[in-house]
């Protein structure tokens, strides 16, 4: 979901951006008008997350999946090993992709437990010589969130924040690299944002095509080639909206209230269930099941009729999932919980 004021602004500028006499999609990425859009978006993101100059901020094509490989290419050599903490299906995929570029080790996995939580840090098998430790702070499909950033002495922490970036304040200095596909909390699909400590890019572990080399992209202002201009522009409008709303601190309190409302509704009833251990429940993605799964189809079709869209669970896990990203208002979650109580009563 994108904020409605952003969609309305984009619509109003669609045919002609400012006095450019053309749409954002029709102007050169090297021209002054797009240059301003790009610089403002980066400045707003830096301000929202308090990102210092020692970090590069890159706007790249290819989504989060491309980053699974690109980060491994840039941060590891073939004879090095990288650590992966597996708390859901995205971390598993990230590790599988990286294994084309370096050795990978699973530090701990919650898979045998059905991804219901996060293995206790005392049981993590960390390699002090790893090129990096990869984590997925919010696992979008299973709805599992880490409660904090792992403390590792020398190993840089790399985080896939596709489904939680900008949902709450973030201490960027705790990370070597943060990346996020745009389409969940930032803007339209087709772009990933990478925030990487420049000190990590000092040496080149292998020859890389210019496009995939973070240093090259940093030096080129993410314009080694034509960047995803429209996605970058809409992301910039989302950042402006976030600033106007009061920033990530305000988002955190809104998101907490939304998630609390939905979990309370689920927990109050034997008709609905969420399988995740309470300390690790996601604020952004809330999967739930019906006690009688033969009612799933009726639930989904009646929800759609009631204007509640996109509730079908991911094909890997089935059931239902409410993704309540920044742009989802509290009223949206209220409408869902009202519907859920009503649906349950009608089955009695
Ligand atoms: C959606 C998602 C991805 C994949 O994003 P693409 O843009 O489709 O490549 C990766 N990681 C997480 C945590 C996600 O939520």
- Mutate which of 65, 159, 180, 310 for ligand 1? The one with the most ligand atoms within 8 Å of its CB, which is 65
pLDDT tens digit string along 187-209? Answer: 999 999 999 999 999 888 999 99
Which position among 44, 83, 160, 213 bears the catalytic label?
160
Residue nearest to atom 3 of ligand 1 (CA): 64
Q: Are 195 and 176 in contact (CB under 8 A)?
A: no
User: Strand 177-181 to strand 157-160: parallel, antiparallel, or no bridges (unpaired)?
Assistant: parallel
pLDDT tens digit string along 13-31? Answer: 999 999 999 999 999 999 9
Q: How far apart are CA 308 and CA 33, in angstroms?
A: 38
- Whether 160 lines ligand 1, by a CB cut-off of 6 Å, is yes
Instruction: Kindly tell me if the per-residue pLDDT of 323 is higher than 80.
Output: yes
| Phi-psi region at 148: left, alpha or beta (left = phi > 0; alpha = psi -120 to 50) | left
- Whether 181 lines ligand 1, by a CB cut-off of 6 Å, is yes
Instruction: Kindly tell me if the per-residue pLDDT of 66 is higher than 80.
Output: yes
Q: How far apart are CA 249 and CA 27, in angstroms?
A: 35
Residue 6's pLDDT band (cuts 50, 70, 90): very high
- Whether 3 lines ligand 1, by a CB cut-off of 6 Å, is no
Query: Is 125 known to be catalytic?
Result: no
Q: Calculate how far, in angstroms, residue 32's C-alpha sits from the geometric centre of ligand 1.
A: 32
pLDDT cut 90: percent of the chain above it: 95
b/e string for 230-255 if b means 16 or more Cβ within 10 A? bbbbbbbbbbbbbeeeebbeebbebb
Residue nearest to atom 5 of ligand 1 (CA): 64
Q: Are 194 and 214 in contact (CB under 8 A)?
A: yes
Query: Is 267 known to be catalytic?
Result: no
pLDDT at 106: 98
Query: Is 124 known to be catalytic?
Result: no
Q: How far apart are CA 103 and CA 260, in angstroms?
A: 40
């Amino acid at each position: 979901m994108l904020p409605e004021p952003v969609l309305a602004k984009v619509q109003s500028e669609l045919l002609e951006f400012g006095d450019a006499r053309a749409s954002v999609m029709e102007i050169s990425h090297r021209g002054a008008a797009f240059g301003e859009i790009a610089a403002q978006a980066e400045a707003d993101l830096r301000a929202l997350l308090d990102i210092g100059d020692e970090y590069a901020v890159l706007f790249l094509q290819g989504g989060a999946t491309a980053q699974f490989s690109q980060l491994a290419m840039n941060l590891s050599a073939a004879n090095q090993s990288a650590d992966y903490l597996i708390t859901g299906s995205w971390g598993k995929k990230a590790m599988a992709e990286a294994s084309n570029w370096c050795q990978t080790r699973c530090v701990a996995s919650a898979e045998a437990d059905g991804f219901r939580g996060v293995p206790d840090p005392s049981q993590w098998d960390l390699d002090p010589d790893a090129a990096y430790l990869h984590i997925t702070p919010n696992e979008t499909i299973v709805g599992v969130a880490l409660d904090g950033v792992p403390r590792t002495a020398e190993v840089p922490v790399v985080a896939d924040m596709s489904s939680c970036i900008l949902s709450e304040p973030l201490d960027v200095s705790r990370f070597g690299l943060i990346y996020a596909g745009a389409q969940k909390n930032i803007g339209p699909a087709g772009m990933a944002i990478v925030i990487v400590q420049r000190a990590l890019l000092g040496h080149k572990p292998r020859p890389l095509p210019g496009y995939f080399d973070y240093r090259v992209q940093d030096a080129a202002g993410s314009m080694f080639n034509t960047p995803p201009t429209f996605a970058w522009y809409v992301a910039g409008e989302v950042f402006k909206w976030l600033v106007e709303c009061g920033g990530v601190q305000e988002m955190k309190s809104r998101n907490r209230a939304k998630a609390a409302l939905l979990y309370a509704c689920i927990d109050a009833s034997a008709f609905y269930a969420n399988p995740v251990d309470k300390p690790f429940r996601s604020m952004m993605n809330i999967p739930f099941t019906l006690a009688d799964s033969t009612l799933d189809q009726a639930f989904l079709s009646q929800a759609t009729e009631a204007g509640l869209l996109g509730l079908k669970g991911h094909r890997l896990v089935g059931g239902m999932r409410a993704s309540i990203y920044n742009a989802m208002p509290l009223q949206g979650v209220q409408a869902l919980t009202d519907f859920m109580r009503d649906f349950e009563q009608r089955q009695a």
